[in-house]
Structure 1
């Protein structure tokens, strides 16, 4: 077989539930007048209401779609239907030479990828004087913004925090906009995160003071940037909102491994869709985060399927225990594996404390733990290990019900994102099978 995707993994590629339903409706041999495959792709002709069948192809090496139908959804129902059909009835496909329309499409994709790689390697002359001037101007703007932020934080604490919940939006929105004007988008994002705290939950006081403390520490660190090590300078600048050029990242040392996709999260803000993928290296045992930024009308650079494994090279951004990375090379692999888990919550919390000591700005730390159960205590939900140690966990109600239906209340292994107040449960392994729940918010 070319690829071994489960139905759940294919569902994660769909743009919405209606596309999944329509795609499943096309996952039958009677809907297709042609079904073929090669080493690189599967393709077919789907008979629609018109005289001419739609030509649909899937690049199975990099999971990409192309269809002659007029749908604006990506992937369309025909691409999903073709994948659903191949996953369930691969015997209906016959091996064949690629027709010209398939070869041309894949060749253009490969040519585009090669062109992008050549561009990344091309050394374009840099006007160092102009660059230094721009950097100095931005540095002054950030410092001025930080001065205003620190005065704002001190005034907020001086006036007290009890009335923050009732005026959270107006309170944080203005200063967040000021940070955007100061070209400190990282500080603006932190302020918006504070603004989104659930102030109806009793834990809001802890979350607010924790976030304000980190915000002040970060702003003070930038004011003393030159006193920091080079690694910390990269970390602080990134946290403030300075970008690291892709070319610079890809020029760094690459880690070659088999990378399993642990989880995918989609967030849409002001028409920009951000896809976040958490990865885990089989040999390196290293976590990584890959980001896709998708503007309206554009297609994602990479389609990663949760639960799948990709062989390739990852280049990591500079910083203190940085997780964000870029693929230098990648291809889908059928060589599945199970990651290495912490044996209990004590080991997991020790790992979390160590990460915080190394970098106090650490948030959403990826952790894998085995032998867990969901446990309710009053209105709160916890993770419980074999030693009866408990830790608060954040799980959507629908996901909690799904987990209980899958496991029957028996122990499972989990991928978690750890934070100070509670940990977020995102995907599980039960009896060696991987389960993932769609994570989308606007």
Structure 2
């Protein structure tokens, strides 16, 4: 126990690693041998000097309330192996509490973080310096997006006129060229959809159906953008968000103890996007934090899965009200019991309702209770454990719909992850609670809890 709260577990520290290589390297540094001058104190700081290959040890400091990291090593990863090793040493009780405070080099970095945080809060309170200039910039970007949407409509019309079969022979180059034009039009949301369209041809049996479905959704988004002025306010906000025209968060600030449910990265070769799912213990809200890193670099935001983050969030418009901005962090505490779960039928009904507000929503976060991972002819699925008999397999054509006895298939990506075997082992054939994303392609499990250890969050990604 320290002034900053209960120390993290080793699993929570390793969950912060940007990749497997960093996880292994950090594990080797999680012992006292290479470290000197370590300490931890108030405001969540942990620091130390790590002996490396050079004459001068690396200076490493971590702000666990962020968390955020600084190290004098040349690594471009966040956190680097030295920060991971220091946190592992701290988690194991190998870093002493220091009443004298952090050394000058660590305190300088910590003070800089506090000053930047205060400056950011002040800027948020005062708003943009020149509202009129901001309005003109917004209008110019909207005009470029409109031109991009019109060009994309012509591309889709040409595709359908020539027949979907031509998409397989044309290759990916034409799609990438179209995506690049959407980037030039400052419509990253449209560019992302175009790249997804280009990856569908030749992706397996039934690809023409999937391509037609995605083309229809992209066409719907184009037409919605071109008619934004005639849409209801919430739907217009969703459309602006989907094309990539982000707006500052404007909802009321919500301070809560947020259970970190899951954290995972996705990359498109240009940008790495980190998604962090949170659940408010008091508000009952589910929130999504997004963080981005340039190609080859992990995003800086990293939270230990299973911990509870005392923080203030401000939600964005659109997207079902899920995405939020992390306004201020106050500290971390041990994990607690998972959110109250729901049945498969209720989860799918909730996804159906939110589709009315956002037709482009691929998935919806849900916590399922009393489900069992089961093997079916087409692959793995989650089945409702309420019945005495095992459920009938869901045919592949059923997509993400539950059958009459309550079962939903796992998505194709989830079928090949190592987390699937952790899920099966955790269940042992019995009912468990699982958090994940449900959608038209099935369910992707992200975290789970066993009945005998409801406060231990088991990450599945």
Q: Same fold (TM over 0.5)?
A: yes
Shift of 1:349: 1.0
Give the structure-1-normalised TM-score.
0.88
**Corresponding residue for 1:380?**
379
1:436 aligns with 2:459: yes
- CA pair 166-53 structure 1, distance change in 2 beyond 3 A: same
Structure 1: stretches of 5+ with no match in the other structure: none
SS in 2 for 1:313: strand
Count of residues in correspondence between the two structures: 432
- Aligned 8 A contact 1:282 1:339 in 2: no
Separation in 1, partners of 2:353, 2:409: 19
Which among 223, 226, 231 is matched to residue 229 of structure 2? 226
Partner SS state of residue 119, structure 2? helix
1:338-368 CA-partner distances (Å, limit 9, x unpaired) = 2324332111111111111232122221111
Could you tell me how far 1:110 is from its partner in structure 2? 0.6
Contact 1:342 1:348 (8 Å CA) reproduced: no
Instruction: Write the distance in 1 (CA, Å) between the matches of 2:219 and 2:211.
Output: 12
CA shift in 2, pair 1:165/1:425, >3 Å? farther
Deviation of 1:427 (Å): 1.9
Point out where structure 2 has 5 or more consecutive residues left out of the alignment: 392-405
Give CA deviations for 1:165-203 in whole Å, capped at 9, x if unaligned: 444514533333333333332222112122233744334
Q: Is the 8 A contact 2:260 2:306 kept in 1?
A: yes
Q: TM-score, normalised by structure 2?
A: 0.84
The Cα of 1:437 is off from its aligned counterpart by 3.7
Could you tell me which of 5, 11, 15 is aligned with 1:12? 15
The CA deviation string for residues 303-331 of structure 1, in whole angstroms up to 9 with x for no partner, is 32222211111111122623211011113
For the pair 1:390 / 2:407, whether they are aligned, the reply is yes
Compared with structure 1, are the counterparts of its residues 278 and 207 closer, same or farther at alpha carbon in structure 2 (3 Å cutoff)?
farther
Q: Is the counterpart of residue 318 in structure 1 residue 317 in structure 2? A: yes
Match of 1:60 among 61, 64, 68: 64
Distance in 2 of aligned mates of 1:253 and 1:277: 20
Distance 1:55 1:157, change over 3 A: closer
Corresponding position of 2:153 = 150
Residues in 2 aligned to 1:225 and 1:235: alpha-carbon distance in whole angstroms: 10
* Partner SS for 1:95: coil
SS, match of residue 107 in structure 1 = helix
SS at match of 1:23: helix
Q: RMSD over aligned Cα, in angstroms?
A: 2.7
Secondary structure (helix, strand or coil) at the match of 2:109 reads: helix
After the TM superposition, which segments of 4 or more aligned residues of structure 1 sit over 6 Å from their partners? 296-299
Aligned equivalents of 2:76 and 2:150: distance in 1? Answer: 47
**Aligned partners of 2:423 and 2:460 also within 8 Å:** no
Query: 1:127 & 1:20 partners in 2: Cα distance?
Result: 46
- CA-to-partner distance for each residue in 1:223-252, whole Å, 9 max, x for gaps? 22211122222221221221214xxx2x54
Check the 8 A contact 1:258/1:283 in 2, yes or no: yes
Q: What is the distance in 2 between the residues matched to 1:21 and 1:46?
A: 17
